[in-house]
Structure formats: C-alpha cells, structure tokens
Amino acid sequence: MKLSYQQTQLDNGLRVITCAMPYAYSVGVGFHLAVGSRYESEELAGISHFVEHMMFKGTERRPSPQALAAQIEGCGGVFNAATAQEGTVLWAKLPRGHLNLALDVLADMLRHSLLLPEEIEKERRVILEELAASQDVPEELASQLIYEITWPGHPLGRDIAGTPESVRRITREAMTAYLASHFSPQATVLSVAGDVDHEQVVAAAEALLGDWSAASAASFEPAPADGADVRAAILHRDTEQTHFILHLPAFSRRDPDRYALGLLHTVLGEGMSSRLFLEIRERLGLAYAVDSHVVLLTDTGVMGVYAAVAPENTRQALRAVLGELRRLREAPVAPEVLERAREYSKGRLMLGMEDTLAVGGWLGRQAVLNHEVLTVEEAMARMDAVTVEDIQRVAQRVIRPAGARLALVGPHDPAESSAFEEMLAEEL
C-alpha cells in the first residue's frame, strides 16, 4: 500500500500534514518547528534546547511534569522532544483513538508552558550536568571539535546545548522573548500519521491553534564560505582509543545532487558492505567502529567519516580513509556497486515507513525544512535516477583537499596537528 498525504494551511500559517495508515494500531504526532541553535545569538547559545526542556515542566492546565506525563503515559503513550541546528520537534506516539489527547497535550506544552522560576533553576542544573557529561565521552568531544573548526565563530560551530557560561546567562525573560519571536505558527508544521481523518485533524488543530498569532519570520546568519585557517585540531585526552572525524564540505538539503551524495555516502561508509567497513575493519582490522555520515542544512552541509582506533594506528587508519575517498573521486564505481547502494538506501527507507511516528517525522521534517514533501515513491524515483557518472561528479565536487577538516581526540600532542594537516594536503 502506498503512503500518500494531505496538507492544509491554516489562516495563521500553521501547516497540517497527515498520512492515513488505517491498519496501524498507533498514531504518531509531531510539531516540527523551524527553529534551532543556529538561530541563537552567542549570548543566548543553548536557549532553544533550554526552552524545549521547559516545555515538559508544566502548563497552566497541567501544572507539573507529573501531570503532563500522566496524560500521555496513562494510555500507554510516549512523548519527547529534540532540538537540532535548524529544527525543534515535540512529539508523541499513542494507541489509536487517543489522537485528540495527544494534540491537546502537545499544543498546551507548545503554547502555555509556565516557565516557573524554580523549575528553570532546576533544569539549568540538569543541562549543566548534560554538558558536563559530554566531556566524558570522547566521540562527543570529537563531534564538538569538528563543528568548531568546520564553522569557526558561527552558530553552526557551537554545541546545540550551548556552553556552561551561556546556559547560566539565560533568564525567564529571555525565554519568554525567544518564544514570542521564534515559535510561531508560520514556522510550524503539525504532522500526524495513523488511522486518522485529515479533516478531523485540521478541525482539531484549528480549535487548539487557530488563535495562535503569527510573528515575524525568524532568521539566521548564513554559513560562512570555506576559509578557516585550522585544518586539523587535536584535543588531548588519556583515552584507550583515538576518535577522529573528517569533514568534507557538501551542499544544502535542497541541492539536486543530494540524492547522489546520499548514495555516495552509502557506498563509502554505511553498513557492513561499505568500502570503509570492508577496508578498515575487515581487511586491515584497525577499528571496531568506522562509518560515514551526511549533514545537510539550508545553505551548507558536510560529508563526514568517523573512526575509533588504537592511538598507534591513527595515521594508518586515516591514510586508509583518505585512500578510499581518493578512489571514489578518481574512479567511477561499478554499476553493480551503485545498484547495491541504491537498493540498500531504498530498503532502509521503506523499512522505516512501517512506524507511524517515523512516517509523521518523515513528512514533517520535509515540510518544515525542505518546503517540499515527497512521497516514498517519489524519493525512491530520485534515487533510481542517479547514475554512475553522477556519483563520480559529486565525489569530485565534495572530496577536495582544500575543504577537508580533521578533529582528533585521544592521547596525542596538539603540536602534531600540523603533521595531520600535511597528510590531508598530500594524500587527499
């Protein structure tokens, strides 16, 4: 059965998108907002994440975290939220028949959070502990470091949760002002998937959110052009492994080449049949964890490679990674390799669409961030259109020594960073 969707825009700009899955026992509901850490000033870094936490601390009608949780969990449901660089999502998944409850609770959290001073101070301590915990996880440190040197001095280069200093500065007044200026109906998509009727969802959204006043569209600072001086950075930690991440500059999520990039990344480092896994883990035995990833944003993006290896094997592993990247740039992949990557990607997409929350998330993210909503079949058709020539052209577009950035966390002297910079220049 093909998954189709319906979409309606309310007078205040809020968009409602639904996907009917009449066979499903659950309903997935998500409020997707075009607001995240890159919308923040340095002074208030982390405020999006802080506000997201505060939505769970009580509303006018449900004045405590327990009262909110009791409503959702009382019927076996789950709910949560997440903040990213360009988006925030507040979601719930409940047994079918409880859609109106989910909409009522989530809309209440979104619009009527109390932001009680005593709860703000408690949650501030929680977030400071969250930031402190990341300092004990070397792969998280590597991730923070690579973003800092990829987009230095820019909101994209900061931790989504902010810094201890900025979190301590955030006041209730700042939260109230941020909610008023950044959380608005025209920046919000309500996505619902399950055994639902579109017109009934629209009517419920109108009743709960129709009086939500539109605000001026929030904006963010454009991503800087490549030009940072630091190509490689080392953070010394006495760890058993070296964790390294390599970033290569890519392009926006709206670029026509994004499907070719996705398949290029699959060939390179997704799954146990990828080139990085076969070369670095299976043939060389250098790493347990090695993979690639792609991050696409509104105006920029990266393709990255992560690996964790014994410190004495760092250079050998990095050299092997660079060799695989160079091979992708210089030689076309075999047609059968592309076909395997294509079927892998299509299969993963289809498997994910059996869950109502995943379907709602798929539609909501597209609507709020891409301003284009594809069906699964349309997305797979775009994958089918990618050719061997497209893969190599995109590889040549992305795999460039001048844009490469490398972050390492482990028992290394930071003075070694210049040697790693030379390796990037010489071997990529």
The question of whether 354 is a catalytic residue gets the answer no
Spatial distance between the Cα atoms of 44 and 166, rounded to a whole number of angstroms: 6
Spatial distance between the Cα atoms of 58 and 289, rounded to a whole number of angstroms: 41
Nearest alpha carbon to residue 88 among 52, 54, 57:
52
Question: How many residues belong to the chain?
Answer: 428
Q: How many CB atoms lie within 10 A of CB 305?
A: 24
Spatial distance between the Cα atoms of 346 and 380, rounded to a whole number of angstroms: 6
102 near 204, Cβ under 8 Å?
A: no
Spatial distance between the Cα atoms of 247 and 233, rounded to a whole number of angstroms: 12
Q: What does the block give as tokens for 81?
A: 């939220």
Spatial distance between the Cα atoms of 144 and 157, rounded to a whole number of angstroms: 8
Spatial distance between the Cα atoms of 276 and 55, rounded to a whole number of angstroms: 41
Q: How many CB atoms lie within 10 A of CB 381?
A: 13
Dihedral sign from CA coordinates of 316, 321, 327, 330: negative
Spatial distance between the Cα atoms of 185 and 245, rounded to a whole number of angstroms: 37
> Which strands, in side-by-side order, build the sheet including 242-249?
232-236, 405-410, 242-249, 301-309, 287-296
Residue 171: strand, helix, or coil: coil
Residue 210: strand, helix, or coil: coil
Pairing type for strands 242-249 and 405-410 reads antiparallel
Residue 250 backbone dihedrals phi, psi, to 5 degrees: -115, -135
Q: What does the block give as tokens for 154?
A: 């820019």
Residue 265: strand, helix, or coil: helix
- Catalytic residue (one of 40, 52, 119, 270): 52
Nearest alpha carbon to residue 13 among 201, 159, 216:
216
Rg of the Cα atoms in the chain: 23
Residue type, 43: E
Contacts of residue 340, defined as CB under 8 A and 6 or more positions apart, other chains included, come to 273
Indicate the helix (H) or strand (E) that contains 227. Answer: none
Residues assigned a catalytic role = 52
